[in-house]
Amino acid sequence: MYRLRSTQQAMLPRGPTVTASDVPWPPNVAGAKGVTQMDVIEPIRKRYSVRKYLEEAVPEEKLLRIMEAARLAPSASNTQEWRFVLVTDEARREALCKAAQGQPFVREAPVVIVACAQTDQRVMSCGQCAYTIDVAIALEHIALQAAAEDLGTCWVGAFSEDEARKVIGAPDDIRIVQLMTLGVPAMGSRPKNRKELSEIVMYEQWGGSKPG
Ligand SMILES: Cc1cc2nc3c(=O)[nH]c(=O)nc-3n(C[C@H](O)[C@H](O)[C@H](O)COP(=O)(O)O)c2cc1C
C-alpha cells in the first residue's frame, strides 16, 4: 500500500499562504468577463480540515443531503462500487480512533464515515485502479456538501485498514479507502497554504508556459 512517509512529506515544497480574498473569482483570465458561474466555489473555499468538533449530533436531514451528494458522484463506468458506513456509536468511534493512530478528533467527531469499496479488481486501461479514485471523488462531494451545511469534515488516511475493517465488521474483500470525520466545527478555518497556479498548471506540453 502506498504511504507518503514523513520524510517525503517534509521534502514537499511549501507554497505561499493564500487567503480566500487573495484569489479573484472568476480567475483573471482573458474572456472571463461575463462568465456565468454557479457558486460551487463557495463550499470549496469554505472547506478546511476540521480536527475539533462540538458535542452535537449531526441533524438527520443534513446527513441525508450529504450522503445524497456522495450518491451523485461520478465513477468509472458508473459502477458505483462505493459503500459508506456511518459510525456514530461511541465505542466504535473510539475503536476507529485507535485504528487511526489515536488521532483524537476521530473519537470526538459525532460521525465517522468509513468509506469502502466493494471491489478493488477494476483497473482502468490507463493503469489506475478505479476504486480509490471513485471513492475519493464521492468523499470530496461529501466534504463540500458538509461545508455547504456549515459542518466540518476531515479526511483520514492514517489508519490501519485491517483494524478499521474489524471495527465495522466488513468482510476481508471489502477495501476501506479512507475515513472521514463529520460534525459541527469547534475551531475556525486557517488561511489555505497552496501553491500558485503557475506552479501547478502547464500549457500544451509538460513544462509549457502560458501562451502569449
Ligand atoms: C487523502 C487524504 C488523507 C488525509 N489524512 C489525514 C489524516 O490522517 N489526519 C489528518 O489530520 N489530516 C489528514 N488529511 C488532511 C490534510 O492534512 C489536509 O487536507 C491538508 O493539510 C490541507 O489542509 P485543508 O484540508 O485544511 O485545506 C488528509 C487529506 C487527504 C486528502
Mutation choice for ligand 1 from 3, 9, 49, CB with most ligand atoms inside 8 A: 49
pLDDT tens-digit series, residues 137-153: 999 999 999 999 999 99
This prediction's pTM: 0.86
Q: How far is the CA of 209 from the centre of ligand 1 (A)?
A: 30
pLDDT-derived band at 188 (thresholds 50, 70, 90) equals: very high
Q: Is the CB of 158 under 6 A from ligand 1?
A: yes
The cell for 210 is 502560458
Answer CATH for 50-200 from 3.40.50.720, 3.40.630.10, 3.90.330.10, 3.40.109.10: 3.40.109.10
Task: Yes or no: say if 153 and 142 are a contact pair by the CB < 8 Å rule.
Answer: yes
Question: Per mean pLDDT, which range of 20-34, 119-133, 156-170, 176-190 is the poorest?
Answer: 20-34
Rounded-to-10 torsion of CA 137, 141, 142, 144: 130
- Atom 17, ligand 1: residue with shortest CA distance: 49
Residues ≥6 apart with Cβ < 8 Å to 186: 52, 53, 54
Q: Which residues are 162's β-sheet partners? A: none
